[in-house]
Chains A and B, each alone.
Chain A
Amino acid sequence: AQSVTQLGSHVSVSEGALVLLRCNYSSSVPPYLFWYVQYPNQGLQLLLKYTSAATLVKGINGFEAEFKKSETSFHLTKPSAHMSDAAEYFCAVSVMNYGGSQGNLIFGKGTKLSVKP
């Protein structure tokens, strides 16, 4: 079975500082990995996804994530935080071409990012 663990339910950074949101996954088969962002009272918006191509994935709004199989990690980073980045971020895993719940997204519990001026 697949699962996702997001370390830190709350992360606070200063504007202009590095953003690092941690995600570790568990999967018995090669996973697809995703980061979604959720602004207050809104749905989920895809930031980026890893689907077994390049291990360093670039997404929208300057975010990127690196797939590290040896560490079973897919951490999200952004070099310089902006006030508009304040939101909740969800890491998710899915497995393609696998029996049962193939293709369903399995989400972590989320990390709320605060950006201080």
Chain B
Amino acid sequence: GAGVSQSPRYKVAKRGQDVALRCDPISGHVSLFWYQQALGQGPEFLTYFQNEAQLDKSGLPSDRFFAERPEGSVSTLKIQRTQQEDSAVYLCASSYGGRSSGNTIYFGEGSWLTVV
């Protein structure tokens, strides 16, 4: 597609519910990032994939967060047993080269998660 596509755009989950957020990166992009943006804050890094390999998951806040990119294109971020502090915008981003290449990183519009 023309840009990074994320779905759903808006999700309301009850506390304790599992959610799955999908990201379609720009076709051919090797690198894929997930960021979390809390209200009034800048985005914070969660995890990074190069093709299908998850090379960095240092930003995942707990073992309730899990991400995958099994075929090196579409990625899913899964949050188990959601809690209110998980309420945030989850941004997906992709770039053509590896993350050290200096290539421009393109962001999707985000998935807005509200946990009630």
Contacts and interface: CB of A to CB of B under 8 A. Distances in A.
Contacts of A104: 33, 45, 48, 56, 59, 99
Given A106-B45, A107-B44, A108-B42, A46 B104 contact: yes
Given A42-B109, A43-B107, A43-B108, A103 B99 contact: yes
Contacts, number: 62
A96 interface: yes
Interface residues of B, number: 28
B100 A103 contact: yes
A109 to B, nearest CB: 5
Main secondary structure of the interface of A (DSSP, over half): loop
A11 interface: no
A44 B91 contact: yes
B56 A101 contact: yes
Interface residues of A, number: 26
Given A101-B45, A110-B41, A45 B107 contact: yes
B105 to A, nearest CB: 6
Interface of B: 4, 31, 33, 35, 40-45, 48, 56, 58-59, 91, 93, 98-102, 104-110
Interface of A: 4, 32, 36, 41-46, 49, 51, 90, 92, 96-97, 100-110
